[in-house]
Amino acid sequence: MTLAQELENLEQMRNRAALSEDEFAQAKARLLQQPPAPAMPRPNATVLNGLRRSRSDQWLGGVCGGLAQLTGMDSWLWRLLFALMLIFGGSGLVFYVLMWILVPLEPNTYRAALPNNF
């Protein structure tokens, strides 16, 4: 409920004599001194933007290695999860291939460290 709606409700209660003048003044002062409610938190886009396929920890496409770097879980747990999803319904293969296609590969840090004349 917004502040304006709450003030309107207080006014209506005062007009119906449900609140005395003193009670109305105290309730209104309490509402006006109340700090505004915090805004809804926005989703953290940097977490999803940080997802990259791993170059160093990969068996096929580096998807599980990238998920391991992002979440802090071991990559073998992600591989096990994808294998179980493959066995129970086949969705593991679909998700893995989609992530292999859509998630970019992490930058090659070795190449970036070389001098420009190489």
Q: Residue 69 domain-assigned? A: yes
> Residue 21's domain spans which residues?
3-33
User: Is the model's pLDDT at 98 over the cut of 70?
Assistant: yes
User: CA-CA distance, 37 to 31, in Å (whole number)?
Assistant: 12
User: CA-CA distance, 42 to 57, in Å (whole number)?
Assistant: 31
Say whether both 24 and 65 belong to one domain.
Answer: no
| Domain count along the chain | 2
Mean pLDDT of 7-20: 85
Q: Residue 116 domain-assigned? A: no
Say whether both 82 and 62 belong to one domain.
Answer: yes
**How confident is the model at residue 109, as a pLDDT?**
66
User: CA-CA distance, 35 to 44, in Å (whole number)?
Assistant: 25
Element containing residue 64 per DSSP (H, E): helix 63-71
Say whether both 50 and 85 belong to one domain.
Answer: yes
Q: Residue 22 domain-assigned? A: yes
